Amino acid sequence: MPQITAIDNLTPNNTQLQDLVHSMLAEARTQGASAAEVGVSIETGLSVNVRLGEVETLEYNRDKGLGVTVYFGQRKGSANTSDFTPEAMRETVRAACGIAKYTAADEYSGLADAQLMARDIPDLDLCHPWGINAEQAIELASECEGVARSMDTRITNSEGASVSSHEGYRVYGNSHGFIGAYPSTRHSLSCAVIGGEGESMQRDYWFSVARNSADLDSATEVGRRAAERTLRRLNGQRLSTRQSPVIFSAEVATGLLSHFISAIRGGALYRKATFLLDHLGKPIFPDFVHIHEAPHIRKGLGSAPFDSEGVATCVRDIVSEGVLQSYVLDAYAARKLGMQTTGNAGGVHNLIIDSGKLDLKALLKHMDKGLLVTELMGMGINIVTGDYSRGAAGFWVEHGEIQYPVEEITIAGNLRDIFMSIIDVGTDIERRGSIHTGSILVREMTIAGE
């Protein structure tokens, strides 16, 4: 019987985790599994929230988890534990095996193909421990909120400022002989404040997030932007119902691309639950649109050397000259569709839509008259039909200049039409996540108001 050793006092770069994965895979073989995969992760972190100059929350976390999936032929079972004692880990394998033995065979289940495993794992510079302590984090959050609250007498309240720092280590291995591991960090600073003028009251926020704390915006910058964004929304007006050009500001334009990815994801495709079914090789955007995946950007928030099945990630086009070139698939979905996994088990890795030559100010000039959307609310999206309807707030634009804030409106259309009516993508690129895009100008949408 394989030896599973207890592990205590783990640090995020501890090679004991890799030894643990090896021993768990061996335990699965001993218990009769024909194939298995194991994922282990450990994370440590600090989060602080300050509101109105007082510490509201202070949290330290130290989390660990282990998940094992076993296959008996094409029958599958999975189990998880956060208990790293030998008895608990052996029982976790036993539980997974017990589930598999009573599960119906699925001809599409199994590990991703062995030849697709990541063999050369690049250093993507994802781990930059901050070393900030609680007192320093409180001071930084207090400074950030203080800047926002002192910007203007119309800033009347605060939802607080937060600082967080997290460091983790992930190991994945399977019975193909693959084992891969990499450390990562994620740090953030955010602030949200409330403003009032007359009977009008609004709130808004700003945040910065990065792998390396040195790449975060300053506390002054985050606080200032949170206050400015709140103040500019005061005394918002409603619009009459109309058809109008719309610019999705970069921070909300990521949502449009997220809906696109949902529509070409394997699960939606094999269930025939997407408006982009059978659109591979067909134009779905204007011919200037290029959307691609760049998983190896150094320090990228969506970067990863391999996906959650051990498949090597790679640079690839998803849309080229407006034509859909590839779906977003894991191994199971790929087999269901008679295709090959695209290395997207667990999601996309730095999805990028190429920008044009105009910044946001120039995009407003190009639009001349229309709506700039800076906030979206609700989830009125039907991926099966492509119907899109969401609450929105932003600014009405005329002669290429912002005229006044707008609120309590709804924007609506169909994603198929929205994608095809994109006129331009701005150079003001949002990079605070796994989707990178500038502001997106759409030729026309329905605005429902008064």
Domain map (residue ranges) of the chain: 236-450
pLDDT in tens, 336-365: 999 999 999 999 999 999 999 999 999 999
Rounded distance between C-alpha atoms, residue 43 and residue 365, angstroms? 47
- The rounded Cα 150 to chain-centroid distance in angstroms is 33
The whole-number pLDDT of residue 15 equals 80
Rounded distance between C-alpha atoms, residue 297 and residue 126, angstroms? 10
Percent of the chain surpassing pLDDT 70: 97
The whole-number pLDDT of residue 1 equals 39
- Would you place residue 12 in the very low, low, confident or very high pLDDT band (cuts 50, 70, 90)? very low
The whole-number pLDDT of residue 450 equals 81
pLDDT in tens, 69-96: 999 999 999 999 999 999 999 999 999 9
Please provide the average confidence, as pLDDT, over all residues in the chain: 95
SS3 313: coil
- Using the predicted structure, report yes or no on whether residue 289 has a pLDDT greater than 90: yes
- Using the predicted structure, report yes or no on whether residue 7 has a pLDDT greater than 60: no
What distances in angstroms separate CA 69 from CA 42, 77, 109, 240, one per listed residue? 18, 6, 11, 55
- Using the predicted structure, report yes or no on whether residue 333 has a pLDDT greater than 50: yes
- Using the predicted structure, report yes or no on whether residue 271 has a pLDDT greater than 90: yes
Task: Indicate the residue type of 113.
Answer: D
- Would you place residue 5 in the very low, low, confident or very high pLDDT band (cuts 50, 70, 90)? low
Rounded distance between C-alpha atoms, residue 187 and residue 182, angstroms? 17
pLDDT in tens, 118-169: 998 999 999 999 999 999 999 999 999 999 999 999 999 999 999 999 999 9
Q: Closest by alpha carbon to 104, among 131, 75, 129? A: 75
Radius of gyration for the alpha carbons in the chain, expressed in angstroms and rounded: 24
